[in-house]
Structure 1
Amino acid sequence: MTPGLRYLACLRLSADSDGSTSIEWQRGVIRHHVSSPHLSGVLVGEAEDTDVSGSMSPFKRPKLGRWLTDRADEFDVIIAAKMDRLTRRSMHFNELLEWAQGNGKFIVCVEEGFDLSTPQGKMMARMTTVFAEAEWDTIQARVLNGVQSRLENRSWLTGAPPTGYRIKAVEGGRRKVLEIDQDFYPYVEEIFTRVREGQSTHRIARDFNCRGVLTWGDHLRKLKGEETKGTQWQSTIINKFIRSSWVPGIYAYKGEAVLDDQGEPVILPQKPLASMDEWTDLVDRIKPVTRAVGTESRTGAKSLLAGIARCGNCGAPVTSLLNSGHTRKDGERIPGHRYYRCSNKFKGGACAQGLYVRADLLDTWVDQAVRDSVGTWDMYERAGKGPSQARELQETRARLENLEAKYIAGEYDGEGQEESYMRMHKGLSAKVALLAKQEEERANPTLKATGKKYGEVWEVKDQEDRREFLRTYEVKVWAWDKGVNQNDRAMVMDLGDIQTMAQELGLNKEEGMDRLLISQNVPPHWTNPELREFPGLELESVPAFLKELEAAQKKEVQRKGSAE
């Protein structure tokens, strides 16, 4: 290995690890290796992941994943004390190895002494990960065999209760179960309700801190009679809680849901905090909104349309600016106004006309347009798709096929091994069935009624939540300083997924309406294609973004026609 390289220490510890693989032991092995005279390397950082299963992909680990995806240019070598500290899955190791080769990185496993710069080293590393994977499967089967009876009667195993639950002794203290903590549950219910209403977790955290609501950790300390630490709520705390598999009560082992004989997750509490469907919906609601390339990311609380509105002249996103105001001759101070301006022109781009309009005027127009257009429509939402499970399904099927091949080859003929094989086969088969079912549901999302009108939901939202509402439904707004009437601004709004769902359900309010475009002070033929069909008329050219919307709509109609 070339001397003087930059090393990233990869540290991992599962919940059941002992002292032989402790973080301190791993750190010591790595530092001793990096500082050896023949290397004289520089340790530039540590990716320390505790309570993380060896079955988790390195790219999904909380700390290591961020280094691989966001900070790859800061290191040359990934170093781990042992191979299984990187991963216990052969497919994940191959994925990491391919990434390293494609990005000019080296991988070092100190204890095994692998030199992955040679074909022989790569082959030995791949063989080692196969054995590590088989060892992990055997450990899991052994552990699950031991706790199976306790899981079947929903007994709590060990440790502190998950957020929102308390441990209750039953059957004269011979067994413990999880039940909802009724003292803390009102805050859980409030979080769920406000997320469903479209409120951001940042706002919920701020509100809880202002009200002095105890976090779960401080709540447990108070129950024990201990002094609270005054830990503050943060959006990350709320997001992590919502994403936790304990919300629907799923029991997980080393980061993976334990499945029953039918392939369904084992639900430990008699009554969980939320059903599976409710949990999926909540997780889907807190997902970051995917933004198109070039979308303005600034979202100041005073700017309803930041990241949503665009300059009608060039299509660039707008930025929000508060001018300084002025002082009258009599000394009275006149406050400034907030304006939306074209980011392209502001940054010296090619937009000649640009956009510079009063923000309150444009905000008011959008507010009224939403009320007048879909305000009386029944509100629908798409059932949460959730993340794709295709890759995990492929990996699980490969593991199942590999297990069956080993069984046929007689590798489980030893005493007591057949029981382990049957347990692993049962678990993997159930997992394949569950993942295949989830992928099928994800590929065919359904629409569901909320029981409310769009106008009712819009009315109770403040400006911050209205902006998130517009983002969620992919609403787009274009604006010009001047329109047909040169003395007034011009605007066009596309209602995005609200209109798409209405089309899917056959709820269009006007016959022949391909896309609901609301406009003000623009040529009528811009938003009504039928007006362009009269021969001999000299019409102003239609903006490119409207043509793109029409083309996308026609393509979608053709696709659905072919499917039918």
Structure 2
Amino acid sequence: MVRMDKPEVTDYDGCGKCLVGVRRLSRKSESTNSPEKQRDLILKATADVGGHIIGWADDWEVSGATDPLTRPEFGPWLRDEKGPYDGVVGAAVDRIGRNVRDVLNTAYTIHGAGQLLVTADHPGVWDLDDPNQESELLIKALGAQLEHRAIKKRIQDEHVRARGAGQPKKKPSYGYMYVRRVPMGKVDEIKLHPIASKEIRKVARRILSDTTGEITISTECARLTREGVLTPHDLLAVMYGRKPEGKAWTYQTLKQILCSEASLGYLMHKKKPVLGDDGRPKKIAPPLWDRATRDALIKKTAPKPRSKGCGKEARAARGTYLLAGIAYCGSCGERLIVNGQKGYGCTARVRGIITSQHCKPAPTMKMALLDAEVERWFLSEYGKGLVMKKEFDPGTSYAAQIADLEADRARLREDRRAGLYDAPDDAEWFRTEYTRMGKEIADLRKLPERPAGVRMIPTGRTIEDEWRSAKDDAARRELLREFGVKVKLNSRQAKERVIIEGTNVYELVR
């Protein structure tokens, strides 16, 4: 075996045997083809042909069905985007590709360029001009393809079995975590993730309790990213021992989490709940919230028409400037922007806005000075006010339960019309389940319905406490918005340099 203290990567020297080591794994946990084992095989095969490694093309978490040309690390080498090299070396043919087409296309691309193809499961360099070696490569590629198909079939069969048994086989939904008593064993329990569940519940609470229209999916995405809350992708990476990529929260990701039935603790398949023998969704975990809350989230986050005809919600203010979006020019009424001197100023006239041509001289003020003045005014005006926590009460949700049962019953009727329950045993089961659902619906209709609403709970904190504990100016800006604070900046010649206005409400509801 090649000594491990020998440098694994050297410079390209044009010797004719400057090789790129190619490694691939669908999952890093594949023990039979671990990165270390592939490295050792590649180094030995390289030494056997008298070559040396000038770079590594390591594609981890990449399916064998992926075309080598499009693989993140191997693809650029094949497309001549990584500089000169004399060939590639892999631990086996199936690490180059998992089907006949990809292996042969890659092999003949390399051969046609006059480069070398080396794999540890074949002695020496592959000579595709030799019919015997060409046949051997074809047989190995076919074996890899058949093995890949067999693995894929076993995985599909296992997923079908798991769905029938009510067992999860995919990655946990955001807000949840798998508990395994044996490492890499079966999932023994699904629990709420202690951090993610708290964060997503906070998002739901903030959106549902907002009455200003200022807290939306977009603003929550900006807040979560700003506060460093891990996205679902990065959270899974950390949970499985990988480094997070620092991705930002996106509108579609957050909306999917809030509106998905996975939040009710259901086993999901193709974004729909898996139904059990009783015709109801299979529940495998505690819910993040109840159905009534989910229905309220769907309604609250639905696109709303705006005055300018836009069907989507307003975007979150960019940056963390305290007065972004709430400071205006006292002369022309246009919003102030942050200029190059880290101050607020009106640039409407120089931007060619017709209604601002009279704005001379345009007001400007240092950011620190205007921020400090607004802070003093806000705390003196509202600082002693109380902070009230607003909690969304989903109500009894009997109507939602009745709607679910009626949908389940309608689905059974449609299946019966399609002839799915014609057998005697199935017909008896159908009558039993249909009767049970009807009785449950009737019982629910007798119960008094309590509509959804909002209740206020004192927190014992003041508005000044909330201001001082805010993480950044973007969070403080949210406080200003909740009180309807607007700032007008006039030129130095005006009698009042700064005019600040707010609502007459002296309690903060959060």
TM above 0.5, one fold?
no
Bigger Cα Rg: 2
TM range (shorter): 0.3 to 0.5
The TM-score normalised by the length of structure 2 is 0.44
The TM-score normalised by the length of structure 1 is 0.40
